Chain A
Amino acid sequence: MQHRWNILLLASAIAAPMTMLAFVLGPSSRSLASPVPVPDLVELAPGTFRYRVSGEFTRDGKPVSAPIVTIAIRHTLAVMRHQVTAADYERCVAARACSISDIDAASSDHPVVKVSWWDASAYAAWLSLETGVPFRLPKDEEWAYMAGSRFNDDALPERAYASGPVQRALMAYERHASREEIDDQTAQPIGTFGMNENGIIDMAGNVWEWTDTCFTRNVIDERGEIATTSVNCGARVVEGRHRTYVTDFIRDARAGGCSIGTPASNLGFRLVRGEKPSLPRLFLEHVRRFFGLG
């Protein structure tokens, strides 16, 4: 057993930096035959904005609303203009780099849906290799920044928390119920939900998007500061017409996203351009992750 692990470790230690080289050297040779184009990206200038932190918060053991903080986006944020389409995803499946999802039709004008966080992450890794441009899922705060006016802060008012868990649940229920819903919850062609002020298409339409942000529970102390945070990366923040948290292997959140309230109609994603890290850093990161230290 020990022997086998050693071989695996060795193989991995060699293979990983090879794939990482792709980032540095450019597109892989495989892609020369039919190169995967770099998707249409929208570049957002750095800036600061007010952001409702994701996760759940308690103070004195009682739930409170999440704090609003100022977030600085320090670098240009480049994001896919439209969501990854079924045809885009199908290409990754054909390359055996993505698992087969329940795709209705590999259509170039429909977003891919019924994809898990794992599926989306695998696609990001594949696209990065194929294009030589590092891609990753956005952090929740990045999604909020991109969404701009489309971001829906659906936090309940402070008084909702004072009135106890059940009144709060009722209030949240009313809010979801009264919101005008799109009758047909099947994924619509790209562009159906229009463009936001940043030029990004279909933000907060009826396909929710995976982010890379983990679900957290936070305790707020007397000074109003976050005292402790426990992180659960088994569930990720999903953004769309409202924010929700979905277990990472779920591909269809309709029935299981939240027990009561409006779940995400469809799970899809769009990627942002990641940082082009230096080779040594990538290698270190890889080693760290490999040993479960990341």
Chain B
Amino acid sequence: MAQDLKLPRQKIDLIAPPYVHAHEQATKQGPQIVEFRLVVEEKEIVIDDRGTKLRAMSFNGSIPAPLMVVHEGDYVEVTLVNSDTNSMLHNVDFHAATGASGGGDLTLVNPGEEAVLRWKATRTGVFIYHCIPGGPVVPWHIASGMSGAVMVLPRTGLKDPAGRPLRYDRIYYIGEQDFYVPRDTKGKFKSYASHAEAFPDTLETMTKLVPSHVVFNGRVGALTGKNAMPAKVGETVLIVHSQADRDTRPHLVGGHGDYVWETGSFQNPPQVDVETWFIRGGSAGAALYKFRQPGVVAYVNHSMIEAFELGATAHFKVEGAWNDDLMAQMKAPAPIMPRTNSP
């Protein structure tokens, strides 16, 4: 059992994305048992500016669930709590873990129950975790918000392809989520009195594979406007991006991925100078970027239909001095001048 390991323990309070709990980017300490607590919440949430309601399910109340950061060789000890106010069976499958459906088989908890799972972080990278309670309700739980991510850092930190250390000044965790809200005969989104009532229509909508919303962090506009992610010119930002269900293709508008771990594994050297990267459904990836220009920098799923029509847009609000060498407006938009032949 965990006690037999005789390792130091650390208890971490998870925080809601896009923010990430404090952590060491590289560590001189030996392996630890890192304790986390995930509490399942079934609740109704609003997912856009039109008041569209969703019977959501979540870990710790946020969509996506919080990012957990540990180091290679650490033991992750998760207490999964299913409050008695909930109505369904839940569990958790960690893609970073090995065996028993990533822990799903060992963590099935009814309302009013809790379970503790310990797994060893043997592989470095970013990995998703999600609920997988069995049967047709599995995709429903995921499509209702029950996924998050774990980041297992190499003990010596991140490295570029030549093995030189990479560091970040800020980290943001973006969880992309497709929702399938059923519509009535007039095309208006429906709302339901309970999760059970929402299930049949939602399942039917889901199986058509046409999402009604594709959003970052649980709702349209969760990471724009007042909630835009702050950064400064010269700062390096690590962006962790997960999608538990569908494929996605993050892109920084007017920026790049300096270093991208597209499949999420830190064991593979990162790709450099990437335009748009690909996050496979059911995985997480990470991109490191140093902001070089100030401005409102959009971070989108570059299916622009999903970004602009369905919601998959985030903004970084970057302060700092403009670099005229990198870009300058030589002429503001004005009427077309007649072209003259050079003498």
Contacts and interface: CB of A to CB of B under 8 A. Distances in A.
A255 B49 contact: no
A166 B315 contact: no
A170 B332 contact: no
B255 interface: no
B333 A217 contact: yes
A34 interface: no
A167 to B, nearest CB: 7
A233 interface: no
A165 B293 CA distance: 12
A173 B334 CA distance: 24
B329 interface: yes
Interface string A48-64: 00000000101001110
Interface string A38-76: 000000000000000000101001110000000000000
B51 A186 contact: yes
A230 B335 contact: yes
B225 A170 contact: no
Q: Is the interface of B mostly helix, strand, loop or mixed?
A: loop
B225 A177 contact: yes
Interface in B277-298: 293-296, 298
Interface string B33-57: 0000000000000000111000000
Nearest to A165: B329
B252 to A, nearest CB: 14
Given A260-B315, A265-B49, A58 B335 contact: no
Nearest to A252: B309
B331 to A, nearest CB: 6
Q: Which of B226, B293, B319 has the most CB of A within 10 A?
A: B226
Nearest to A228: B335
A58 B333 CA distance: 9
Contact of A255 (B296, B309, B333): B309
Given A164-B322, A166-B322, A185-B50, A173 B333 contact: no
22 contacts: A61-B331, A61-B332, A61-B334, A166-B293, A166-B322, A169-B296, A170-B294, A170-B319, A173-B228, A174-B317, A177-B226, A183-B49, A183-B51, A184-B49, A185-B49, A185-B51, A186-B50, A186-B51, A228-B335, A230-B334, A255-B309, A262-B225
Contact of B51 (A164, A177, A184): A184
A242 interface: no
A176 B221 CA distance: 13
B208 interface: no
B308 A173 contact: no
Contacts of B51: 183-186
A256 interface: yes
A250 to B, nearest CB: 13
Q: Is the interface of A mostly helix, strand, loop or mixed?
A: mixed
Given A177-B226, A186-B51, A260 B332 contact: no
Interface string A130-167: 00000000000000000000000000000000001111
Given A177-B226, A177-B228, A256 B315 contact: no
A265 B323 CA distance: 35
B50 A217 contact: no
A219 interface: yes
Contacts of B50: 184-186
Given A183-B49, A217-B333, 13 more contacts: A61-B332, A166-B295, A167-B294, A169-B296, A170-B295, A170-B296, A173-B317, A184-B49, A184-B50, A217-B335, A230-B335, A260-B315, A265-B49
Nearest to B332: A58
B188 interface: yes
B11 interface: no
A49 B294 CA distance: 38
A265 B51 CA distance: 13
B317 to A, nearest CB: 7
A167 B322 contact: yes
B293 to A, nearest CB: 7
A178 interface: yes
A104 interface: yes
Contact of A260 (B294, B296, B331): B296
Contacts of A254: 49
Interface in B225-255: 225-226, 228
A173 B296 contact: yes
A183 B51 CA distance: 8
A262 B226 CA distance: 11
